[in-house]
Amino acid sequence: MSTEETSRPETLADAAEELSDTVALDVVARFGFAVLAVVHILIGVVALQIAFGGTGQAEPTGALEQLATGIAGPWTMWAFAIGCAGLALWQFSESTLRARRLPVGKRLAKAISSGSLVVIYGSMALTMARFAIGNEPDSSEFTRDFTRSMMAHPLGISVVLVVGGTVLGIGCYFVVKGLRRSFRPELQHFENSRRGAVIDALGVVGHVAKGAALILVGLLFAVAALTNRPSQSTGLDGSLKALQDHPFGDAVLVAIAVGLICYGIFAVIRARFGRM
């Protein structure tokens, strides 16, 4: 094989990376971070209401349902869908094109972390598009139906365990990222400043709370599979409400709710000043 043929894939990858490094994608991805901020803040507010005796759905679809109402609701949902799709595309380029020069170990870790976010943000974009066309989904109902349909097949329990393990792993990733402050390189603009200390605290609390919420969701998937009870898999809303059945559950729920709001505020700052 000639040198020219060998270098052709690398040349194509360089060209694709250059195409992905555009102002348009940068702007859309930043808007996607802002969308995430709004969703997390709304989920946190609903969770606080539930902790103090109120009602609501502490999950993405519950938050989006509040935004989808009104004349401008569909347009808002389309804009949010585009932002999340752009963020998913940016994460895809992060996990493939930009990661290809990293050492093998770091490349694999980046592929797993950013690849998981591609799926999450892509799913959110589809959910928002469904809201835009008036087909409002319910996250908890979808999770139960998915678990029930999977467990009706011979290998379904294994599939549900894999899904639960994946969600659990993503949750652990966020907790570790928060505790180790691995998010700092994303916001180099505020390093060694008083504002940086506040943003650091928001990042730690926010990432740990988001990770804890995902760990709860993953555990419910595992419980549903191991006990052969699909109804136990209730998504984020069900997992947070289930905390109230345990000692100090309300306090834990409040802590997670406040943490999700902190994550939302951090995501706003990330949208404006973060590295892209």
219-244: average pLDDT:
82
The answer on pLDDT for 259 being more than 90 is yes
The answer on pLDDT for 191 being more than 70 is no
Residue with tokens 């709004």, as numbered in its chain: 38
Say whether 137 sits in a helix, a strand or coil: coil
Arithmetic mean of pLDDT over the chain: 82
The answer on pLDDT for 18 being more than 70 is no
CA distances from 264 to 38, 247, 254 (A): 6, 28, 15
In degrees rounded to 5, what are phi and psi of residue 233? -85, 100
- Domain boundaries, position 231: 3-273
Give 41-50 pLDDT, tens digit per residue: 999 999 999 9
Please report the pLDDT score of residue 1 as a whole number.
47
**From 101-105, 122-126, 157-161, the region with the lowest mean pLDDT:** 101-105
Residue 138, judged by CB atoms within 10 A of its CB (0-12, 13-18, 19+), counts as middle
Q: What is the CA radius of gyration of the chain?
A: 20
136-156: average pLDDT:
77
Provide the domain count of the chain.
1
Residue with tokens 């194509």, as numbered in its chain: 12
Confidence of residue 6 (pLDDT cuts 50, 70, 90): very low
6-20: average pLDDT:
52
Report the helix count and the strand count for the chain, using DSSP H and E.
10, 0
- Structural tokens at position 210: 């988001």
Within 8 A by CB and 6+ apart from 272, the residues are 30
Please report the pLDDT score of residue 254 as a whole number.
93
The whole-model pTM stands at 0.82
C-alpha 213/C-alpha 199 separation (Å) is: 21
C-alpha 256/C-alpha 243 separation (Å) is: 11
